Chain A
Amino acid sequence: GENVEQHPSTLSVQEGDSAVIKCTYSDSASNYFPWYKQELGKGPQLIIDIRSNVGEKKDQRIAVTLNKTAKHFSLHITETQPEDSAVYFCALPDKAAGNKLTFGGGTRVLVKP
Chain B
Amino acid sequence: DAKTTQPTSMDCAEGRAANLPCNHSTISGNEYVYWYRQIHSQGPQYIIHGLKNNETNEMASLIITEDRKSSTLILPHATLRDTAVYYCIVRAAGYNDKLIFGTGTRLQVFP
- Co-assembled chains A and B: no
